Amino acid sequence: MNSLDLLRQHTTVVADTGDFDQLGAFRPQDATTNPSLVLKAVQQPRYRTLLAQAVAAQPGASATTVAEHLLVAFGVEILKLVPGRVSTEIDPRLSHDTAASVATAQRLIALYAAAGVPRARVLIKLASTWEGIQAARALEQQGIRTNLTLLFSLAQAQACADAGVQLISPFVGRIYDWFKKTAGKSWDEAAMAGPNDPGVRSVVEIYRHYKRHGIRTEVMAASFRNSGQILALAGCDLMTISPALLAELAGASTPVARRLSHDGRIEPRPAALTQAQFHAALAADAMAHEKLNEGIQQFIADTETLEQLIRSIQA
């Protein structure tokens, strides 16, 4: 078996793409999208039809409304190719607005329902801000499952667990990027690889915290820069992997040993974080604070570019 098949023995493989052809090639259980991936996809001729259909179906609607219909259209098509769930991200401009995030998520779920997709097959993605996490709390209480993304710290993971979210997506590669950039010329790639990679260490810490305290929230490692990071996290509940790295693993015969596991012993859960404690922890973590804000701004920029594209078609 190739390395991708060996990885599947330890971890649920999720595809991080909006390209339907790539989904068919790698047979993932679930799929995730974000504004950047959808923007990239609609610039390909094959997917311009979905964009044109979304615009035509909503005459006179705002670009934001059309974009919501487009995201769901992508999700519906993706679910024809994967047996599990699709993650659909709400407008990143709402990352600090709990009420608006909840309302947007409810609209997306209603659009999926109108297309015949049960809510059990959809995860609503929200940024792991305090407001995003509280929106997830409200949605989970309504039976709408959530995926908390742009997660870079144990404090964010703790708050997500307190809110009872379905799944979190701790980012490996962006943590690695930050530490490598900060270290500059002193960075030793070989010494910081595998289990010593700072992004890998962050996910391991979160995974162990969850399993040790009997937290049911799923841990889906995300944002990989190389296959070594993936192999170092074999055994994580899920991993969302780019097509390029899926192809690399499918073409490799490297053995894949389970790296993360739990002995079954459960300890009492720590007290829930307050809002003040959450913000204090995030402020004290320069990497997490910077990457969270940077990630939101990047997704906002791509969302606005997508809406400009929609308006150009509407004109």
pLDDT (tens digit per residue) in 45-62: 889 999 999 999 999 999
Q: Is pLDDT of 19 > 90? A: no
* Contact of 50 with 33, CB cutoff 8 Å: no
According to DSSP, the residues that pair with 26 across neighbouring strands are: none
In the predicted model, what is the mean pLDDT of residues 148-161?
Answer: 98
What's the confidence (pLDDT) of residue 315?
85
Lowest mean pLDDT: which of 13-27, 72-86, 150-164, 210-224?
Answer: 13-27
Q: What range defines the domain where residue 288 resides?
A: 3-314
In the predicted model, what is the mean pLDDT of residues 146-166?
Answer: 98
pTM of the model: 0.96
Instruction: Please enumerate, as own/partner, the contacts of 289-296 that have beta carbons within 8 Å and a separation of 24 or more.
Output: 290/178, 291/150, 291/152, 291/171, 291/174, 291/175, 291/178, 292/127, 292/128, 292/129, 292/150, 292/152, 292/156, 295/127, 295/150, 295/171, 295/174, 296/92, 296/95, 296/127, 296/129, 296/150
CATH number where 76 lies = 3.20.20.70
Compute the mean pLDDT over every residue in the chain, rounded to the nearest whole number: 96
Return the SS3 of 248. Answer: helix
Catalytic residue among 80, 125, 180, 185: 125
Q: Is pLDDT of 22 > 90? A: no
Q: Is pLDDT of 207 > 90? A: yes
Which of 225, 216, 222, 220 lies closest to 197, judged by CA?
Answer: 225
* Confidence class for position 137, pLDDT limits 50, 70, 90: very high
What is the total count of domains within the chain? 1
DSSP string, 75-104: HHHHHTT-SS-EEEEPPGGGTT-HHHHHHH
| Catalytic residue list contains 125 | yes
Kindly report, residue by residue over 250-283, the tens digit of the pLDDT. 999 999 999 999 999 999 999 999 999 999 999 9
* Contact of 107 with 143, CB cutoff 8 Å: no
Amino acid letter for position 48: R
* Contact of 167 with 222, CB cutoff 8 Å: no
What's the confidence (pLDDT) of residue 160?
98
